Amino acid sequence: MSRSSKEKRERVRVQVDRFGKRLIVDETFASFYRPETPATGCVWDALAAPILALAPERRRRVLLLGLGGGSVARLVRALAPEADLVGVELDAEVVRLARAHFGLDDLDLEVRVEDALAVLRGETRRFDLVVEDVFVGRGDAVHKPDWLPHPGLDLAAGLLAPGGLLVSNALDEAPSVAAALNSRFPGLLRIEVDEYDNRIFVAGPATLDARGLRAAVVADPILSDSARILRFRDWRRTGSRTVG
């Protein structure tokens, strides 16, 4: 075994315990898998939940940037069984482990092992939902690449079908992500997850509503248990309101 191969395997690895399987990438918690349910009980539920703000007939095509082990893809597939899913992941080793350990090939999605920015620049299809979950770096130093929020979120917004939603997962860059989305969309929500620093922004039409999305999550048989850990906030120019 060469040193480079050993380093790569250690950088991307699977941890298994009684709760489920975790994909660890560069010492960050990148995906979670429980065979008995697509729900994760953590951040990925917040990333998938916004699809419930779309009418069922509007859940037709979804683009996932930062596929990882497929935690969001698995939830979206459960919530939108007929949707065309496209997942973009830069790291081929991540995709290999996702296929081997996380049931990625069971999700009937188009997997593209490419740079997300290149996909945004080259894609011509329109999507009802785009989920941006792209980070670089290692451990506590993880951050957005330099093309986010601009031009990445601008390009992603350009791929939305009318009335579509753009979701972005942010950490330290939350203020700049919020500003970028607030300048482009009439509707903007923020979802917080108990015990996590992530801020999930959901941008779309003016009809987007924190109370309505929370009600949809509570009513959904897959995500209802996750409602207790999610906090929804309207984030419009007129102010904000938290719905717990």
**Structural domain boundaries of the chain?**
36-243
Q: Which band of pLDDT confidence, cut at 50, 70 and 90, is reported for residue 3? A: very low
CATH architecture of the domain 36-243 equals 3-Layer(aba) Sandwich (3.40)
pLDDT (tens digit, 9 = 90+) per residue, 135-160? 999 998 999 999 999 999 999 999 99
pLDDT (tens digit, 9 = 90+) per residue, 170-213? 999 999 999 999 999 999 999 999 999 999 999 999 999 999 99
**Cα 181 to Cα 157: distance, rounded to the nearest angstrom:** 9
Sign of dihedral through CA atoms 174, 127, 186, 156? positive
Res. 239: pLDDT tops 80: no
Residue 86: predicted pLDDT: 99
**Cα 146 to Cα 152: distance, rounded to the nearest angstrom:** 9
Q: At what angle do helices 3-11 and 92-101 cross, to 10 degrees?
A: 60
As a whole number, mean pLDDT of residues 16-29 equals: 92
Residue 235: predicted pLDDT: 85
Record the tokens describing residue 230, joined without a space: 């999610």
Percent of the chain beyond pLDDT 90?
Answer: 89
